[in-house]
């Protein structure tokens, strides 16, 4: 049992499939907040603020992923250029 990582991922995915209410926890919280604030009729901009917050939370992981992809491809391209032009690349 050198690598337990795939086994752990399979167990977590199986639990999320068997117990889907665990994976919808945040959505239920957003729904409860939206429903409770919907009763306040003076709050016209609450829905837009909630949508903006959701988009903000969604954008952060994508920005991190883009940054990591940029670093990976930069290192990869610099390594290929180093082989072509015979210079060493310090990562």
3-state secondary structure the chain: CCCCHHHHHHHHHHHHHHCHHHHCHHHHHHHHHHHHHHCCCCCCCHHHHHHHHHHHHHHHHHHHHHHHHHHHHHHHHHHHHHHHHCCCCCC
Residue 55 resides in a domain:
no
Residue 52 resides in a domain:
no
Q: Model pTM? A: 0.47
Residue 13 resides in a domain:
yes
Residue 33 resides in a domain:
yes
Q: Total domain count for the chain?
A: 1
Residue 70 resides in a domain:
no
Res 48: pLDDT: 65
In the chain (91 residues long), the average pLDDT of successive 10-residue segments reads 78 81 62 68 62 80 93 86 72 52
């Amino acid at each position: 049992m050198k690598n337990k990582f795939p086994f752990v991922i399979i167990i977590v995915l199986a639990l999320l499939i068997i117990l889907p209410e665990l994976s919808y926890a945040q959505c239920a919280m957003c729904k409860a907040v939206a429903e409770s604030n919907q009763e306040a009729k003076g709050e016209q901009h609450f829905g837009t603020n909630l949508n903006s917050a959701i988009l903000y939370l969604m954008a952060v992981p994508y920005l991190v992923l883009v940054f990591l992809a940029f670093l990976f491809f930069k290192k990869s391209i610099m390594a290929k250029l180093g082989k072509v032009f015979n210079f060493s690349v310090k990562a």
